[in-house]
Amino acid sequence: MSGTKIPHRALDGVLLLDKPFGLSSNDALIKAKRIYLAKKAGHTGTLDPLATGLLPLCFGEATKFSQDLLDADKTYEATMRLGIRTTTGDAEGEAVDTREVTCDEAAVNAAMAAFLGDIVQIPPMYSALKRDGKPLYEYAHAGQTVERAGRNVTIHALRTIACALPLVTFRVTCSKGTYVRTLAEDIGEALGCGAHLTALRRTGVGALTLDGPVTLEQLAALDEAERDARLQPVDVLLSTFPAVRLDDEAARRFLHGQRLRLADLVNVADAAGARLDDGRVRVYALDGGRLLGVARAGEGVLAPERLIVAAQ
């Protein structure tokens, strides 16, 4: 019948999407949600339209834990073009400065080494960060430049993959909030010639990698059962947290939001058998191994933070 509303489905899980070039993270989410006819979905942090690669999408109960991937380290493979600086820091912008490239690969590697560890970045004007309630890119489009405070970020790993000057391809693992565009620009300035980013592909988010992700085109070609099989369990978002398993009575109390004394619990060791210190943990039921939620262990107490409703 014309105008009949198609019912949406209650799904719980995580889709490892390989986002295409030119599509925003939100547009990719909308397309995937439509393909699944899912009631509830969210992504785990934006990936620029000009970037490709790993974009974990959360459905149903998994959306409660998306913040854990927002806070996770990220890994990228990127290409920068030395000798040209642009308005946006990437290939989308207009060239504003052109300089001769006189460095060699050894100089590039030395410059990169100086950015390892804790550094301070000035966020780019073409970003979604807000100033007085307005995104910075709106000021930039209006030809305005506003003062931005430096942000502390950490570059855990940074190395050259290929160097065919003036193009340099590198791999970087960095903390949340790092702008790879800004990193490329800063490396270019350290080399005395400037630079801008020409390609960016995200290959890792926390413990998740580009091992077996699916494109939107591939997803649309699958039948419902095949698509559902592509969803990872909710706890794939929490794999770096120690695990705690509760007996039936402790699980019941936990799901009612009660704080539990660690001394009263049967199994409060992580997978390696180590006793838990202060920190966040994933909590399971001993019976069937169901994920119950996330808690914080500390000061002798297991305090619930976020619960899986379906587990109750």
Return d(Cα 10, Cα 275) in angstroms, integer: 37
* Angle between helix 105-113 and helix 180-190 axes, rounded to 10 deg: 120
Q: Are 147 and 138 in contact (CB under 8 A)?
A: no
Q: From the candidates 12, 18, 48, 90, give the one annotated as an active-site residue.
A: 48
Burial status of residue 308 (CB atoms within 10 A of its CB: 0-12, 13-18, 19 or more)? buried
3-class secondary-structure state, position 8: coil
Strand partners, 280: 296
- CA 198 centroid distance within chain: 21
- Residue 18 annotated in active site: no
∠ CA(208), CA(209), CA(210), 5° rounding?
140
Q: Which residues are catalytic?
A: 48
